[in-house]
Structure 1
């Protein structure tokens, strides 16, 4: 077990190092750079921009230096000082820009994961136990519907529903107007949760629908095995038969895909944040890509891809803790 943890930890850091190089070079692939983006924006606004101005901006931002040198400088700052560079557009350290929005992003991801699993696990088990019943058909239909509806469309639907039907003010933000500048209190926390349930449901919709299908399929496979039949024949209570073994095994695919779920949630968050006007890293990431703000965009892409690596590492640890067969090497 300890050897597995050490090996996975080392491989995780190696993978992150490779990802950082790929991310930095991919950000640099589109033609042009931040200086040309600024020049185009100024030209659209009627401001005169000369080639000399663009050249001065490139020299000031070190955009004339070779790409490899810029990458080495960037990764050296990350490893030695935790410095992810300076945002070209905002002329602010990248860590400060992301730090201002990371709290809301992390809270939204945790809330979404909680909603996803708290719905997917019991509903998937229920659907498998009552296979081919009316509730099973309803769950199946809703599952396919959840997988088919795009996130941005569901965001607009829930935005209208919460505003018009439920009468919640300021849904397209984090707080209601009366709590916008208020000090933290119990009422402000409740107001925050009332505003976060819409993006949490939107982000977790596809994951919940997929989780229900996976748990249902695995449960159906386990319920037909001999150990379940033998347990019932010995008179073991049905609830214990279901939750003691089949459910635990059915959770393995869900736990093993935790990294993918984190990646899918984080990659879908920018679109939902733009639609709902949420002040998390989504709009910041989108604008950084448009501006070719290399250090900011590279750091955000590195963060999003790191969620998959770290999430997969956590999945391995949870599987080893949850399933004794994996700890003892019976299942690899």
Structure 2
């Protein structure tokens, strides 16, 4: 196992280098740069920027350098923990995304916990009570959750909160804590406001997880080893937990690599609708304005979490399923 982890960690280095090159190429694909898009926006409003000032800013931000030199400058900063400079905010990226990353992590982590707490008991019940009234009712709710877009649910909740209660449920903190550093009072305010985005974002994820767990568990419960265990008189709960449930959880453990990036990206559309101060709207805005270092830093953070999450899921799968062999014995 140790040799496997070491080999995987060494493999992550060229993988992340290749990803950084791809990310840098992608954020450079749109024509022009941040200053070009800003100049076009100013001209649409009847304003203009002197050419000398434009060239000075391009030189100041290093946008006049060759692309390979810009990439090396950005990559070297990433190795040192410096995510670069945000052109739009005129601040280091580290300062711009600081609190937003923390708030996004809190919301995303709470959403994942909410999804698991709701989905696992319902999925197990639906599989063990196949075609019962409860299974049909929960299946209907699951299909409704899958068919309803999160951003549409957010719009509906905003409307009814305003009509019925005369209040707005947007935002993640009270107005006095906006743009304030994290404190205990602000953290308590986040917890008070967090249940609404967690409920909205977790709806579709919960429905999808219920359907997947039900399908996986039903497939396992029909296999001969489960029938044999029942014939030997083992208690139903022991038959369920011993192997079928463990095997049914394998796809969810394998999805850890896809869950970790949500800690950074969050649900961008829902965040825009609910005016959440998370990283999703900031990433969308950075891509729109070609704020290359801000957008590139977000994408690199997500890619790094995918690589780390894949490693963690592979290791956990080795413990969860004895049939999976890691390390030197994997080839035999």
TM-score by length of 1: 0.89
Asked whether 1:138 is paired with 2:137, we answer yes
Q: 1:162 to 1:262 in 2, by over 3 A?
A: farther
Q: 1:259 to 1:183 in 2, by over 3 A?
A: closer
1:326 Cα offset (Å) = 2.0
1:172 Cα offset (Å) = 0.8
1:111-126 equivalence runs, <5 A: 111-126=110-125
Query: What residue in structure 2 maps to residue 6 of structure 1?
Result: 6
1:159 Cα offset (Å) = 3.1
Q: 1:58 to 1:177 in 2, by over 3 A?
A: closer
Cα shift readout 1:227-258 (whole Å, capped 9, x = no counterpart): 21222222211111112221111111111112
Asked whether 1:306 is paired with 2:327, we answer no
Query: What residue in structure 2 maps to residue 15 of structure 1?
Result: 15
CA-based RMSD of the aligned residues comes to 2.6
Query: What residue in structure 2 maps to residue 69 of structure 1?
Result: 69
1:168 Cα offset (Å) = 9.4
Distance 1:266 1:200 in 2: 15
1:161 Cα offset (Å) = 4.7
**Structure 1 residues 69-78 or 147-156, which shifts more?**
147-156
Q: 1:211 to 1:266 in 2, by over 3 A?
A: farther
Q: 1:140 to 1:12 in 2, by over 3 A?
A: farther
Query: What residue in structure 1 maps to residue 270 of structure 2?
Result: 272
**Structure 1 residues 170-179 or 302-311, which shifts more?**
170-179
Distance 1:11 1:115 in 2: 34
Structure 2: give runs of 5+ residues left out of the alignment.
none
Tell me, yes or no, if the aligned pair for 1:151 and 1:268 is still in contact at 8 Å: no
How many pairs does the alignment contain?
329
Distance 1:94 1:11 in 2: 28
1:24 Cα offset (Å) = 0.8
Tell me, yes or no, if the aligned pair for 2:99 and 2:182 is still in contact at 8 Å: no
TM-score by length of 2: 0.89
Distance 2:65 2:109 in 1: 40
1:23 Cα offset (Å) = 0.6
Structure 1: give runs of 5+ residues left out of the alignment.
none
1:191 Cα offset (Å) = 4.1
Distance 1:78 1:178 in 2: 34
1:297 Cα offset (Å) = 0.8
1:1-332 equivalence runs, <5 A: 1-79=1-79, 81-161=80-160, 167=165, 171-177=169-175, 184=183, 189=187, 191-263=189-261, 267=265, 269-327=267-325
Tell me, yes or no, if the aligned pair for 1:170 and 1:176 is still in contact at 8 Å: no
Distance 2:177 2:22 in 1: 42
1:263 Cα offset (Å) = 4.1
Tell me, yes or no, if the aligned pair for 1:321 and 1:327 is still in contact at 8 Å: no
**Structure 1 residues 142-151 or 291-300, which shifts more?**
142-151
Q: 1:26 to 1:163 in 2, by over 3 A?
A: same
- What SS does structure 2 have at the residue aligned with 1:171? coil
